[in-house]
Copies of this chain bind each other. A is one copy, B any other.
């Protein structure tokens, strides 16, 4: 599985989640390569805490960050800004982006 096909190991709340839900067009045009690249870059950004991603028709990517300022810096990152433009021009039929403050969290793991 890729890094984005695992449950993110996030710290105790509070922290922030960016929930990005999308429907793709039929156009590939570099989408997969760019999506992988965006995860690579995000992981190098200050305040990055993790990412989770799945798609079957609907795509959901949740990226976790320490603060709203870290999210703003990631949104403005040059390569990411270009990818967002490509997303609106080419890759996405529609999307919705939500910024949310994680207040509570808990996990479960089956005993080995």
Contact = CB atoms under 8 A, between A and B. Distances in A.
Contact of A99 (B8, B22, B25, B103): B103
Interface residues of A, number: 45
B99 A7 contact: no
B58 A54 contact: yes
A21 B52 contact: yes
Interface in A70-106: 88, 92-106
Interface string A8-26: 1010010011010111010
A67 interface: no
B55 A56 contact: yes
A60 interface: yes
